[in-house]
Amino acid sequence: MRTQVAIIGAGPAGLVLAHLLHLQGIDSVVLERQTREHIERRIRAGVLEPATVDLLQEIGLAGRLLAERLVHKGLELLFDGVGHHVPLAELAGREITIYGQHELVKDLVAARLDTGRPLLFEVSDVALHDLTSDRPRVTFVQDGQTQELQCDLIAGCDGFHGVSRPSIPDGVLTAFEHLYPFAWLGILAQAPPSADELIYAYHREGFALHSMRSPHLTRLYLQVPPDEQLADWPDERIWEQLRVRLARDDPAWQLTAGPIVERSITAHRSFVVEPMQYGRLFLAGDAAHIVPATGAKGLNLAVADVAALAQAIVENRLDGYSERCLRRVWRVQHFSWWMTSMLHRVADPFTERLQLSQLRYLTSSPAAATSFAENYVGLPFDGGN
């Protein structure tokens, strides 16, 4: 097999890159180890920055998104039993979009298949070869047969646990990592959202987040210890803690509960590797960096990466890919770390006072709120320094 670009991973990063290249007449093959059903049902992020929506619209992939999305012009910071509205659109000039990542993946898969270019599911034993040569190769197994894909370059879009980053020799990359002393217990509930916007709650019992995926599905999160087990969290305990942490002085507000259809516990970390390229291998998305979910940046950062990579391929300016992306990566890392540190409880009275001081300043200072809104809504893909 022969192609120009081998794309490892059929998540949003890999599929958006494949479509960007297709529009420029550049051939690619996308390799995915999971089934199509698996990637289209996998529940992940749901907050899209305006720059992400703009890009999807420009390349003709936003039809269903624009028809079905939820548009949020603000969010709420809840602490001391009082909700504080942050008018994102008013302060930053743009709104955010709520559209489930699994729904976006459905759109991207359908668009890829419509192009007639290869999208291969259920491949295994993927290995990358000759990365510093002019003709790198990818070997893999599909339907019991070993295949070899020759290409001009490889895009590693296969996530934190994929094969792309470990294919780079030891000592080439510098890794920066920060582990947080908590995890998120996340649930998807068949219940209408209890509010029109996201609620970020700071509480003595721990952080909580009220989000949504549709008018009928609510996404909710609880801060838990990093070694917590799902077996320790029956439905009753989950809803009890959500009611406690999302409570407010307003007696008219109440949390809408419903059947829990999905649940998971996810540890929080910040992670970056530098550079994001080695020879003819270019890392994008979670293969190169992880951000804590608090700022809702992971998917958007991945799309920004592949937008830069596609442009670098078209313009034959690949040497500058890593430097260009890392400027944005570190800006987003700082914001995500800052927001995470402000909202999650730790067993330290001094830090608690600092967190409350920051929250009170953020919700009383127009300048602080504007800076927060600009970073939360996200910087343009061609900026971000």
Map residue 359 onto helix, strand or coil: helix
What lies within 8 Å, CB to CB, of 19 at 6+ separation is 59, 61, 108, 111, 112, 115
Sequence spans of domains, the chain: 5-46+100-173+275-345, 177-267
> Residues 103, 105, 109, CA angle at the centre, nearest 5°?
125
CA distances from 331 to 214, 265, 274, 308 (A): 30, 26, 15, 16
pLDDT value for 384: 39
Spell out, as residue ranges, where the chain has pLDDT lower than 50.
383-385
Query: What are the structure tokens assigned to 112, written together?
Result: 């890829």
pLDDT digits (tens, 9 = 90+) for 223-251: 999 999 999 999 999 999 999 999 999 88
The number of CA neighbours under 13 Å toward the Cβ of 378 is 26
5-46+100-173+275-345 has which CATH code?
3.50.50.60
Residue spans of alpha helices (H) in the chain: 12-23, 36-41, 50-58, 63-68, 88-92, 101-115, 235-245, 298-315, 321-343, 349-362, 366-377
Candidates 280, 282, 208; CA nearest to 241 is 208
Give CA torsion, residues 337, 263, 303, 30, to 10 deg. 140
Q: For residues 188 and 201, what is the distance between their CA atoms, to the nearest angstrom?
A: 18
Instruction: Let me know if domain 177-267 sits in CATH 3.60.10.10.
Output: no
